[in-house]
Amino acid sequence: MIIRPEQANDQDAIASIVAAAFAQAAHSRQTEPAIIAALRDAGALTLSLVAVGAGEIVGHAAFSPVMIDGRDVGWHGLGPLAVRPDRQGQGIGAALVREGLDRLRASGAAGCVVLGEPDYYRRFGFRNDDALRYEGAPAAYFMSLSFTGHSPDGRVEYHPGFGAE
Ligand SMILES: CC(C)(COP(=O)(O)OP(=O)(O)OC[C@H]1O[C@@H](n2cnc3c(N)ncnc32)[C@H](O)[C@@H]1OP(=O)(O)O)[C@@H](O)C(=O)NCCC(=O)NCCS
């Protein structure tokens, strides 16, 4: 299995595995493929990584810039993250997250936030931080990982593409 940035002809396969992954997710409004398309159209997909096994796309991770108190201070958001249902639980999601975080760090980013299951994201170093607030979800599900040792205070806003339907 390899992890690589998306290419132009990957877009349909990404949309279809993302839709399949979120089809059964209780917390989802099934807007994730539209969100990824909106981020791509806006040039706001900082990173769009695919996992490819046996020539097929089986997983996808998106990263996009977030604002903190209305300012771009080099932080990004991870998500949506999706693995094709028949390939879940094989480490593909973890490989996508680790590769994405390595690439963000290498590019000089300051940190990354994520909204999701704390038990899953803690393994990558994400932690709850009272100083970095997100108003759209309970605080326990919002986590951050600083690449610099310093975390800003403030209110986090995702890209407007997350409003896509
Ligand atoms: C969440 C998801 C991306 C994880 O990818 P994956 O390739 O299946 O996960 P991995 O193989 O890397 O990791 C498996 C581990 O994660 C755990 N895990 C998977 N989903 C989890 C969840 N929602 N909450 C807590 N733990 C979870 C598994 O129990 C397993 O734990 P273990 O390593 O202790 O045995 C995938 O299950 C998925 O696409 N889910 C549907 C879409 C979704 O909910 N995306 C995340 C929200 S943005």
Instruction: Indicate whether residue 78 lines ligand 1 (CB < 6 A).
Output: no
Closest among 41, 51, 40 to 4, alpha carbons compared: 51
Instruction: Indicate whether residue 65 lines ligand 1 (CB < 6 A).
Output: no
pTM (whole model) above 0.85:
yes
| Cβ neighbours for 104, distance < 8 A, ≥ 6 positions apart | 46, 47, 63, 76, 112, 147
Instruction: Indicate whether residue 77 lines ligand 1 (CB < 6 A).
Output: no
Per-position pLDDT tens, the chain of length 165: 999 999 999 999 999 999 999 998 988 999 999 999 999 999 999 999 999 999 999 999 999 999 999 999 999 999 999 999 999 999 999 999 999 999 999 999 999 999 999 999 999 999 999 999 999 999 999 999 999 999 999 999 999 999 999
| Cβ neighbours for 136, distance < 8 A, ≥ 6 positions apart | 115
